[in-house]
Structure 1
Amino acid sequence: MKRISFVVLALFIMLGSAHAAETVKIGLMAPMTGSWASEGAEMKQVCDLLAEQVNAKGGVAGKKIEVITEDDGGVPQTAALAAQRLAALKVTVVIGTYGSAVTEASQNIFDEQKIIQIANGSTAIRLTEKGLKYFLRTCPRDDEQAKVAAQTIRKLGVKKLAILHDNSTYAKGLADETKGLLAADKGVEIVFFDALTPKEQDYTTVLTKMKSFQPEMVFFTGYYGEAGLLLKQAKQMNWKVTFMGGDATNNPDLVKSAGKDASAGFYFLSAPLPKDLPSEDAKAFLATFTKKYGNPPNSIYAVLAGDGLRVALEAIAKTNSTDTEKVADYLHKNLKDFPGLTGKISFNDKGDRVGEVYRVYKVNEEGLFILQP
């Protein structure tokens, strides 16, 4: 009886190994729980749909794709554990994640295991200044975003500016970069530069402090949860000041938390929203997504995750290999102007996406995000 059980067990192991050999394992690290769960849910939907489409056409390099999702909770410590689990599963590529500090907690784990990581919503400059061969990102960097922020502030004629961040890797980096670009501009005075504590429920103290400096605009470089609350409480204080946010404020939940009245007139920077993607390929994918899930994706970061998967599969197909050394070399050196859903994609030696991506949006009276000319 024991011998039969051993033979059966051995057979299951062999079948499991055969299954593993027949698939290309792609990891998805995303915030499936926590404050950014809406981002994670759409990242998974986009990647699952793309994998389904590719598998229907026979897969890649003669194998079907298997997407394995791990929840990082939007927390660095949880991300490190999620990265270790994906590394143990011997994935070839990991897509994700959202949040620079969260991504940073996983970078060295993947690099040491020679696993390619393609981040989709992690814009902090230092992520690609470490010389990590296996790290790339489909989103642009904060220094590019800061340039657009400074240009927009000047274009809107702002003379007195307040900059507020949350001390996170992303938000502090964007705030510092923007401050640096405006430092030599005698036409713009930065009258306030400070941080709030994220995930609090009352920001009236910091709002009152900023108001005392009489800025014409507040540039908040943190995330949409806090941005919504700032807008709501500023309106309750009857403080009529223009707010602008970085790309982490780009989420419909901002309007839900602030209310349409409070969020009207809010500016933010972002890669083009899904509804504004111009290519026919993007429009076709969004139509298929809508048919499958009942609505189009709200977040561009989900689509940027999809582009990460698409370029990874392109590299695997062109090298006809899951050898991460070959795949990484192809992505850095040979992938040129790949027709991504979010536009043409190429990477430089550091793994950064090449080209201008950021746009300016404004929230209208109906709470809709309108691309600005």
Structure 2
Amino acid sequence: MTMHGQPRAARALVPLALAATAALILSGCAGGLGGQDTGGGDSADGPIKLGMLAPFSGSESAFGVYMENGGQLAVDEINAAGGIDGRELELITEDDACDATASVAAANKLVTQGIVASVGGYCSGATLPTLPIFNDAGIPMVIPAANSNKLVDAGLDTVFLINGTGTQQAAATLKYALKSGATKVAVLNDNTDYSKDLATSFVNQATEDGTLEIVLDQSVTPGEKDYSANVNNVMNANPDFVVWTGYYQEGALITRQLIDAGYTGPILVGDGSVDKKFAEIAGPGYTDTVVGTFTQTPDMLEGAGDWIASYTEAFGADPGPYSTQSYDAVRVMAEAISNAGSTETDAVVAALRELDGFPIFSGPLTFTEEGTLSEGGFAIVQIGPDGTFVLKDDLQS
């Protein structure tokens, strides 16, 4: 369902983003890619290989499929328009299982396969250990989903994020809590890098603002079935607003147990919990007070109907979370390679930094000095009748 109420800039950008794929190919590059020795394992006459790490196994595997499909759709469109200076793109995916050990092995495998750039990264905890691997190999990264501030704090010139950072997501959480009239907030995280980072950022911003009282700030043990001890701590703290920054499996169970214990206030979840499975796990009647922070998905954007139709026709399924970000990650990297006229690391990194208003789904893209979005683009979503998250508040007013 197409949602209404987005800012005009977001609505206008969708058709521009779709048109830009073909435009980048037609623009051409001085010197071109066809006859140069680029080094770094890249064959001057073969396909330009982009690597994507994503979870294709484990509890987050649905997101890996969305990401792969979104990235492949961009690759297919670019290749159909002639590639980059006559060279086709090739997307090579590997499973990181949202696990740090698995991601290191998968990243090394991508390096040996001769990728020239990385366009993956979902779980921050799995993405962080891959940063030095890709950086040492001279492989620039455009990360579509992972957004822990630790990715930025690593300080690598080759790393760029096109999802809003944890700081930006925490700011959206605070804005909505204040807008909702909250006074006392309990904060729970699942002890992963992403979740702890988001929770800490929210608590710090709320403390600095001074309007809200943080009555509980606690980590839970992921993978448990019974969170009664944590739920009791929340109930004893007597909050009127609960923030959960972890993933949907634990978040859904905690939500159900909180409501069974008598909690009736809002429960705001981070983007790691924004998935239809949240409602499936929580069960009927347990999601009426649940909202989340998320960047807008295709069904929330006016003008995205053609893109959704193309995705559905190509893959026989509807697009899901991070399909658009992965689509845009490929487009952004392709634009940089095209503008650089090279796959050489420094040239591509310089071209990424020079992007000015490049149209992507979340708005005109210009990277900050830290390689992040100028604006996070987070909105508030709620769970609809079929269990999917739909737009509730774009936070523009």
What TM-score does the superposition give when structure 1 sets the normalisation length?
A: 0.90
2:362 paired residue number: 342
Which structure ranks higher in relative contact order (CA pairs < 8 Å, sequence separation ≥ 6)? 2
Between the aligned partners of 2:248 and 2:141, the Cα distance in structure 1 is: 25
Match 1:166 to one of 190, 197, 210: 190
**Could you say if the C-alpha distance between residues 216 and 277 of structure 1 is closer, same or farther in structure 2, counting changes exceeding 3 Å?**
same
2:311 is aligned with 1:289: yes
Partners in 2 of 1:251 and 1:110 — Cα distance? 29
1:305 matched to 2:326? The reply is: yes
1:328 to 349, 370, 390: 349
Amino acid at match of 1:326: A
Map of 1:114-129 to 2, 5 A cutoff? 114-129=138-153
**1:161–1:188: 8 Å Cα contact kept in structure 2?**
yes
Q: Which one of 270, 275, 284 corresponds to residue 246 of structure 1?
A: 270
Deviation at 1:353, TM superposition (A): 1.6
- Name the counterpart of 2:137: 113
Q: For residues 9-54 of structure 1, give each alpha carbon's deviation from its aligned partner in whole angstroms, at most 9, with x where no partner exists.
A: xxxxxxxx99883200011111010111000011111112221222
Deviation at 1:327, TM superposition (A): 0.8
Distance in 2 separating the partners of 1:214 and 1:177: 22
Q: Unpaired segments of 5 or more residues in structure 1?
A: 1-16
**Structure 1 pair 204/55, CA: closer, same or farther in 2 (3 Å)?**
same
SS at match of 1:175: helix
Distance apart, 1:175 and its partner CA: 1.0
Match of 1:52 in 2: 76
Q: Which residue of 2 aligns with 1:194?
A: 218
- Higher CA-based Rg: 1
Q: 1:34 to 1:366 in 2, by over 3 A?
A: closer
What is the letter of the counterpart of residue 284 of structure 1?
D
Q: Which amino acid aligns with 1:22?
A: G
Partner SS for 2:215: strand
In the alignment, which residue of structure 2 is the partner of 1:40? Answer: 64
Over aligned residue pairs, what C-alpha RMSD do you find? 1.8
Is there any run of 5+ residues in structure 2 with no aligned partner, and where?
1-40
- Give the equivalent residue in structure 2 for 1:132: 156
Structure-2 change in CA distance of 1:115 and 1:19 (3 Å): closer
* TM-score, length of structure 2 as denominator length: 0.85
Q: Residues 256-275 of structure 1, C-alpha deviation per residue, up to 9 Å, x if partnerless?
A: 11123111220110111221
2:124 is matched with 100
Report the counterpart of residue 358 of structure 1 in structure 2: 378
Which amino acid in 2 is paired with 1:302? S
